[in-house]
Amino acid sequence: MTGSKLQSVRGMHDILPQDTPLWQAVESILRRGLDNYGYRQIRLPIVEKTELFKRSIGEVTDIVEKEMYTFTDRNGESLTLRPEGTAGCVRACIEHGLLRGANLRLWYQGPMFRHERPQKGRYRQFHQLGVETYGPKGPDIDAELILLARQWWRELGIADKLELQINSLGTLGERQAYRQELVAYFSTFEHALDEDSKRRLHSNPLRILDSKNPDMQSLIEGAPKLIDYLGESSRAHFRGFTDLLDAAGIVYSVNPRLVRGLDYYCLTVFEWVTGELGAQGTVCAGGRYDSLVEQLGGTPTPAAGFALGMERLVSLLAHSSLAQPAPPHGYMIRVGAAAEKAGLVLAERLRERLPGLRLVVHAGGGSFKSQFKKADKSGAPYALIMGEEEASRQQVSVKPLRKEGIQQMLDFDRLIEFLQSEFNFQ
* Residue ranges in contact with ligand ATP by CB under 6 A: 84, 114, 116, 121-123, 126, 128, 261, 280, 282-283, 285, 307, 309, 311-312
> Residue 99 carries which side chain, given as an amino acid letter?
L
Shortest approach of ligand ATP to residue 353 CB, angstroms?
44
Residues in the chain: 426
Query: Cα–Cα distance between 128 and 58 in angstroms, integer?
Result: 20
Shortest approach of ligand ATP to residue 246 CB, angstroms?
25
Residue nearest ligand ATP, CB atom distance: 309
Complex with ligand ATP: residue 111 or 366, whichever CB lies closer: 111
Which of 299, 356, 289 has the alpha carbon at shortest distance from 328? Answer: 356
Complex with ligand ATP: residue 116 or 340, whichever CB lies closer: 116
Shortest approach of ligand ATP to residue 123 CB, angstroms?
4
Task: Name 55's Cβ contacts closer than 8 Å, sequence gap at least 6.
Answer: 295, 296
216 touches 156 (CB < 8 A)? no
Shortest approach of ligand ATP to residue 268 CB, angstroms?
14
Task: Name 17's Cβ contacts closer than 8 Å, sequence gap at least 6.
Answer: none
Shortest approach of ligand ATP to residue 387 CB, angstroms?
52
Complex with ligand ATP: residue 165 or 395, whichever CB lies closer: 165
Which of 126, 90, 84 has the alpha carbon at shortest distance from 106? Answer: 90
What DSSP letter does each residue of 158-192 carry, written as one string?
-GGG-EEEEEE---HHHHHHHHHHHHHHHHTTGGG
Complex with ligand ATP: residue 266 or 342, whichever CB lies closer: 266
Shortest approach of ligand ATP to residue 309 CB, angstroms?
2
For the chain, what is the radius of gyration of the CA atoms? 28
Which of 348, 350, 344, 339 has the alpha carbon at shortest distance from 389? Answer: 339
The sign of the CA dihedral 15, 21, 26, 28 is positive
Complex with ligand ATP: residue 128 or 234, whichever CB lies closer: 128
| DSSP state for residue 64 in the 8-state scheme | I
Query: Cα–Cα distance between 85 and 45 in angstroms, integer?
Result: 9
273 touches 285 (CB < 8 A)? no
269 touches 296 (CB < 8 A)? no
Shortest approach of ligand ATP to residue 56 CB, angstroms?
12
**Kind and range of the H or E run holding 139:** helix 139-156
Complex with ligand ATP: residue 283 or 360, whichever CB lies closer: 283
163 touches 324 (CB < 8 A)? no
Complex with ligand ATP: residue 125 or 320, whichever CB lies closer: 125
Complex with ligand ATP: residue 158 or 344, whichever CB lies closer: 158
Shortest approach of ligand ATP to residue 344 CB, angstroms?
44
Query: Cα–Cα distance between 388 and 342 in angstroms, integer?
Result: 10
260 touches 292 (CB < 8 A)? no
Shortest approach of ligand ATP to residue 34 CB, angstroms?
17
Complex with ligand ATP: residue 115 or 358, whichever CB lies closer: 115
Distances (CA, A) of 342 to 9, 355, 388, 392: 46, 20, 10, 9
Shortest approach of ligand ATP to residue 286 CB, angstroms?
7
Complex with ligand ATP: residue 121 or 379, whichever CB lies closer: 121
Residue 57: helix, strand or coil by DSSP? helix
Complex with ligand ATP: residue 25 or 64, whichever CB lies closer: 64
| Main-chain phi, psi angles of 97, to 5 degrees | 60, 30
Shortest approach of ligand ATP to residue 209 CB, angstroms?
12
